[in-house]
Amino acid sequence: MSKKLVNKILSKDEKHSDESSINLNEIIDKIHDGYEHKKGPYFAKRTGFTPSGLTYGAGKCPRMWYLWFEGNEAENTNTWYEVANMDSGSDRHTRIETAMENAGILVTKEAQLKYENPTISGKTDAVIKWNDQNILTEIKTKTDEGFQRTKKPANYHIEQLLIYMKIMKQAFGILIYENKNNHEMLMFPIRLNQKYKDFVNYFFDWMKSVEAAFKEGKLPENPYRVKYNSRDCKGCMFLKVCQTKPVGDIKIESRKDLE
């Protein structure tokens, strides 16, 4: 290959790798767009409740669940950050569960759960064996700032664990928090005392009333005082279609929080 031809090829490569022609922020934005590939309208239908859906976001609204059971056009409103954060949480769950398995204490992970009346389906995080006892765990992650401020578990995390505990007939479980920055852990024991028993029984009765309304074809009214404008409605995937539906046939309160 002649020297002249080599110089010609090098000049061509240098031209294509000119950094001044590359907008790095546009590349970042494009990658962020990749997290939102499902954003926009889509058809959503479920045949039962999910523990994570019940305890977060619009999951306390009976009308939202009716629309989900019925099957309606939904809108994915998650930002790229929220999608990336959820994916990161799933990756961390897998890593921690693998560490439990390597440590020889894992019994099961991501076990599928089914429950009837009310209809519930979901997956547990991990069941570990400690002192000859099988213990249900729920794994959550926090930023360093949130981790350092954590003195007790969040109530909506306890609510989710209580659902699993009732389905699996467990009187004891552990909430595990991992620091996203340095992987430190905090653990909180959750014992099924009378307060928790009363709450989870109320929770299941509430689900039964919502499911019964759907089976009878009775659309619940929007339970919120500030309709379609409140923080409860803002992130609902059925917000748009909800506003096109009739006022409703039955009044069901939004689900109460654990106090």
Q: Is residue 174 part of a domain?
A: yes
Segments forming the whole domain that contains residue 59 = 40-244
CA–CA distance, 246 with 221 (Å, rounded to integer): 8
122 bridge partner residues: 113
> Once rounded to an integer, what is the mean pLDDT over residues 37-49?
84
CB-facing half-sphere around the CA of 62: CA atoms within 13 A: 28
Instruction: Look at residue 7 and tell me whether its pLDDT is greater than 60.
Output: no
Q: Is residue 222 part of a domain?
A: yes
- Cβ neighbour number for residue 222 with a 10 Å cutoff: 23
CA–CA distance, 64 with 255 (Å, rounded to integer): 12
Token pair of 180 as six digits: 């996203």
234 or 152, higher pLDDT: 152
- Please count the structural domains in the chain: 1
Q: Is residue 71 part of a domain?
A: yes
pLDDT of residue 233: 87
Token pair of 177 as six digits: 């928090």
Q: Is residue 253 part of a domain?
A: no
Instruction: Look at residue 46 and tell me whether its pLDDT is greater than 70.
Output: yes
Rounded to 5°, the CA angle 102-106-109 comes to: 110
Q: Is residue 126 part of a domain?
A: yes
pLDDT tens string 175-197: 999 999 999 999 999 999 999 99
Rounded to 5°, the CA angle 254-257-259 comes to: 150
Q: Is residue 258 part of a domain?
A: no
Q: Is residue 164 part of a domain?
A: yes
Q: Is residue 7 part of a domain?
A: no
For residue 155, what is the domain's CATH number? 3.90.320.10
CA–CA distance, 258 with 163 (Å, rounded to integer): 12
The position carrying tokens 């005082």 is 225
